[in-house]
Structure 1
Amino acid sequence: MLGQFDSLKAIVRVRYYSIDNFVFKLHYRLTFYIFLVATILVTSRQYIGEHIKCLSDSGVPTHVMDTFCFFTTTFTIPQHYNSTLLKRGSLAHPGVGPMGTRVNEEEVRRHAYYQWVPFVLFAQAIMFYLPHIIWKGIEGGTLKRLADGLHNGIISETDSVDYGDCHIMSKKERESRLEVIRGFIRNKEILNKSWSYYLIFCEHINFFNVIFQAFLIDRFLGGQFFSLGNHIIEHGVTADVTILDHVFPKVTKCTFHKFGPSGSMQSHDAMCVMALNIINEKIYTFLWFWLIFLLLCSGLALLYRYASLLLHSRSKCFNEVVFSAWRPAKLSPWMYFTVTKHFDYTEWLFLNYLSQNMDGLAFRELFTLLAGDTDVKKNDDLYEKEKTLPLQTEKATLLEKNEKDAFKD
């Protein structure tokens, strides 16, 4: 039974490098996997047996009726969703009962979505993964190339060591790698200053994608998805007739027409057991709660992003909280203030993600180097200002003297 999930092994793998935040990962990892697992469940017959099984008279072969009712629409009759009649035994199943020969189309609720459930679920999984593909292409593996090997806190005092897939750097190699990152940031080699804004754009895609998926499911289920969770919370699932019976009926009706021996039209009424809806109702009930949770997390992530845009170069406390959350190695407040004050948002965000991909001690060494560079630059600027100050003063004095001489003349 578990063999159906072997196909997920190729995409479920541990990644040591992070190029986004936790909420972003909820979209392209956890939510993506949720929709993939749901797709596998609704296409696996060994869990629930045949997706549809119809009971009719002997005029139509069983396999013909089953096939016909699956690729056409089955239906229920809303007037037979009556819990009182169900308790009395007047109805065998909710929504299934006798109907007249001239019943209006408005009195019949047709169900055709079950044919498309696996396709829609798989398409939604791709939609949740798409923003990650866009951002990964824009980021281009820069963080991995720079921080490769620095996530390991173990170093060798002599030569580097390769132990299986693990590369242990030597002390000299680590210092050399830190110098490369230092030069990358100091020389402002992040040429694409919109790097950070592409990430913000992808985060907005995630937020609006959740809303779009909710409306898509609601339209797919005939406008009943939004009320699904509220109804379950208020009434539960133990009532005789629940909203799940309306949206995901377990027993439906199906009508097959054929010509008789004399050429007259014959109508064959069938009652179909929709075993697939046992899985569908669980999937979509879970998705109702999950999408609400995901929307709230995505909204909070955007609020944090707006706050970081405002505070990244202004608040020492904000930077202390952000960087210490990822790396426990303590840094002095002077370092936070000295370094981040002179960074634009792209440089600040890049440094933030470096802190997530590096060992705490290695990042502390890097931060100390950057603080020293910033301090030296500040002193150089002060020196240049002091050097030009006497020249400016002498020039101003000479100009004032010329003006006085011109006034005397």
Structure 2
Amino acid sequence: MLKTFEEFSKNIKFKVKLVSIDNLVFKLHYRVTFILLLVCTILVTSRQYIGEHIRCINDNGVPNNVIETFCFFTSTYTVVRHLDPSAVLSGGGMLPGVGPYVEGEPVVRHAYYQWVPFVLFLQALTFYIPHWIWRNKEGGRLKVIVNMFEYAALVSSDEDITVNNKKIPSRKAREENIAVVRKAFLERLHLNRPWAMWMVFCEVLNAVNLVAQFALTNAFLGGQFFSLGPKVVETSGDDADILDIVFPKVTKCTFHKYGPSGSLQKHDALCVMALNIINEKIYVCLWFWFVILSVATALGLLWRLFTFVFHSRSNVFNRRIFKLATPQQLEPYEMITVTRKCYYSDWLFLYYLAKNLDGFVFKDIFVGLAIDFDNADTKALEDLADGASSKATTIVTDEEKEPLQEKKDS
């Protein structure tokens, strides 16, 4: 069974990434939920843990393996008339939905168990797709910058040092890399919009996918998933277990075959659904996890909206946010100078630089950007002043020419 996922597992590597390109809520989708659904997929395909998925009994001489194969690939059912919990509790029935069946009366068909592993696996992929999209659209920009300063915090010499095949750059190389990042940031100022837009889009896509998976699972379980968690919590000792109704452990199956005389014979069988022992626990856990993930996702989107509103309006907000991202203290004037010049996309890129770079390195970059913005403002003011002075001189010169010309004529 495990060999089924052997090739797939080669592409799943559990390691700490040096570069963070998303937040905690994003990771809950493509790491925790993705792995949880893969584990559930493996569980429902594991015969060594629960035995055969279905076992059927009949008293009509039909081989059990034939009945079991037929009932598993078609579907089993429970009788609506016997789903009354009071009848079971009063001893009127063996299990919910199991009892005498009259041809034509309403029944509930149970065919979902055939598709559980496929649905769980596809759900796992859908939770990973937004991360895959974002990783490709991000393009490794942060990784390139982080690699430039991998050992920059260890700089202590005017020359490059190699220790255990790892190159520690010199002070000059460090300053040159900082200058390169500052120049690149200024050249792309206000051009980072696609980068930030794709990130926000993928965060929204996570939320949309979660809602879609909730609805899909509910439809898959015959409309029982939305209320599954509350009913499990509310079930008391005097009530029939809701799990025995949604995931029946014993079901009925009807098998038809031709007899010796050519007449059609109907064989009624009882089937023990061992697989539902696992299914019920999986879907109860998924219900609670989806609820937790929904709350976290909603808070994540609200936080994204909050940062969009206050990133250029509150210096206190910026100081606290960057303090969480980097241990270095940034001066209020520098913070105001840089953040007031940045669009949200530029601010977000700086925030992720702060999360990934060493604090001293990021502070040098940030201070340098503040100086660059100050110099740009000073130059703009000087150009404006020069233009105004030139214009004034031209006007004065023209005005002075008139009396001089009149004096010359006289």
Question: What is the TM-score normalised by the length of structure 1?
Answer: 0.89
Distance (whole Å) between structure 2 residues aligned to residue 239 and residue 360 of structure 1: 61
| One-letter code aligned to 2:136 | G
Q: Which amino acid aligns with 2:30?
A: Y
What SS class does the counterpart of residue 233 from structure 1 fall into?
Answer: helix
Distance 2:56 2:176 in 1: 72
Check conservation: 2:57, 2:64, Cα contact below 8 A: yes
Q: Contact 1:124/1:213 (CA < 8 Å) preserved in 2?
A: yes
Corresponding residue for residue 231 of structure 2 = 231
Deviation at residue 61 of structure 1 after TM alignment: 0.7
Contact 1:150 1:357 in 2 (8 A): no
Cα offsets for 1:108-130 (capped at 9, x unmatched): 01100000011111111111111
1:209 aligned partner: 209
- The CA distance in 2 between the partners of 1:145 and 1:185, in whole Å, is 13
What does residue 197 of structure 1 align with? 197
Residues 317-342 of structure 1: per-residue CA shift (max 9 Å, x gap): 12112211111211111121111110
SS at match of 2:240: coil
Contact 1:86 1:240 in 2 (8 A): no
SS in structure 1 opposite 2:268?
strand
Instruction: Work out whether residues 89 and 240 of structure 2, in 8 Å CA contact, stay in contact via their aligned partners in 1.
Output: no
1:103 aligns with 2:104: yes
- The residue number in structure 2 matching 1:406 is none
Whole-Å separation in 1 of the counterparts to 2:221 and 2:377: 63
- Encode CA deviations 1:282-307: one digit per residue, 9 max, x unaligned: 11111112112222222222222222
- Output the CA distance in 2 between the equivalents of 1:263 and 1:23: 64
Aligned to 2:376: 377
Tell me how far 1:98 sits from its aligned partner: 1.1
Q: SS of the counterpart of 1:57? A: coil
CA contact (8 A) 1:52 1:70 kept: yes
The alpha-carbon deviation at position 272 of structure 1 amounts to 0.8
Shift of 1:163: 4.1
Q: Determine the C-alpha separation between the residues in 2 that align with 1:2 and 1:267.
A: 39
The correspondence of residues 27-176 of structure 1 with structure 2, limited to 5 A, is 27-100=29-102, 102-104=103-105, 107-148=106-147, 150=149, 154-158=153-157, 159-161=160-162, 163=164, 168-176=168-176
Deviations 1:193-252 (CA, angstroms, capped at 9, x unpaired): 32211211111111111111111111111111111112122225x555222111111111
Q: Distance in 2 between matches of 1:401 and 1:266?
A: 121
Q: How far has the Cα of 1:366 moved from its partner?
A: 1.3
The CA deviation string for residues 45-102 of structure 1, in whole angstroms up to 9 with x for no partner, is 11211111111125211111111111111001122234444344432222111112x2
TM-score by length of structure 2 reads: 0.89
Give 1:393 shift: 3.7
Q: Note closer, same or farther for the CA distance 1:40–1:168 as it changes in structure 2 (3 Å cut).
A: farther
Larger mean CA deviation between 60-69 and 300-309 belongs to 300-309
In the alignment, the residues of structure 1 paired with residue 253 and residue 399 of structure 2 have an alpha-carbon distance, to the nearest angstrom, of: 103
1:303 aligns with 2:281: no
The separation in 1 between residues aligned to 2:167 and 2:90, in whole angstroms, is 73
Letter aligned with residue 97 of structure 2? G
- The SS at the match of 1:271 is strand
% identical aligned pairs: 48
Q: For 1:358-373, what aligned pairs fall within 5 Å after superposition?
A: 358-373=357-372
State how far apart, in whole Å, the 1-side matches of 2:307 and 2:399 are: 49
Tell me how far apart the structure 1 counterparts of residues 191 and 345 of structure 2 sit (CA, whole Å). 10
Q: CA deviation at 1:348?
A: 1.1
Question: Aligned equivalents of 1:142 and 1:196: distance in 2?
Answer: 12
Residue 397 of structure 1: CA displacement?
A: 6.0
Going from structure 1 to structure 2, the CA distance change for 1:253 and 1:169 (only over 3 Å counts) comes to farther
Contact 2:189–2:342 (CA<8 Å) still a contact in 1? no
C-alpha distance in 2, partners of 1:82/1:193?
Answer: 59
Q: 1:17 corresponds to which letter in structure 2? A: V
Please give the secondary structure, in 1, of the residue aligned with 2:109: strand
Name 2:19's counterpart in structure 1.
17
Distance across 2 between alignment mates of 1:305 and 1:273:
50
SS in 1 for 2:193: coil
Alignment partner of 1:259 is 2:261: no
Q: 1:36 to 1:376 in 2, by over 3 A?
A: same
Contact 1:153 1:361 in 2 (8 A): no
Alpha-carbon spacing, 1:118–1:183, altered in 2? closer, same or farther (3 Å): same
Q: Distance in 1 between matches of 2:397 and 2:235?
A: 91
Q: Identify the residue that residue 406 of structure 2 maps to in structure 1.
A: none
The code of the aligned residue for 1:215 comes to A
AA aligned opposite 2:37: F
> In the aligned structure 1, how far is the partner of 2:31 from the partner of 2:167?
27
Contact in 2 for aligned 1:155/1:170 (Cα 8 Å)? no
Residue 286 of structure 1 pairs with residue 285 of structure 2: yes
Aligned equivalents of 2:169, 2:258: Cα separation in 1 = 81
After superposition, the Cα gap between the structure-2 partners of 1:228 and 1:330, relative to the gap in structure 1 and judged at 3 Å, is same
- Equivalent residue for 1:407? none
Deviates more, 1:323-332 or 1:74-83: 74-83
1:179 CA drift (Å): 2.2
Q: Using the alignment, how far apart are the partners of 1:160 and 1:69 within structure 2?
A: 71
Q: Could you tell me how far apart the structure 2 residues matched to 1:227 and 1:257 are? A: 36
- Aligned residue in 1 for 2:180: 180
Letter of the aligned partner of 2:195 in structure 1?
W
CA distance, structure 2, for counterparts of residue 116 and residue 282 of structure 1: 16
Alignment of 1:351 with 2:375, yes or no, is no
1:253 touches 1:270 (CA, 8 Å); kept in 2?
yes
Q: How does 1:333-352 map to 2 (within 5 A)?
A: 333-352=332-351
The answer to whether the 8 A contact 2:190-2:342 is kept is no
Q: Is the 8 A contact 1:155 1:171 kept in 2?
A: no
Structure 1 pair 401/205, CA: closer, same or farther in 2 (3 Å)? Answer: farther
Give, as a single letter, the amino acid of the residue that structure 2 aligns with 1:103: G
Checking the alignment, whether the CA contact within 8 Å between 1:27 and 1:129 is kept in structure 2 is yes
Amino acid at match of 1:234: E
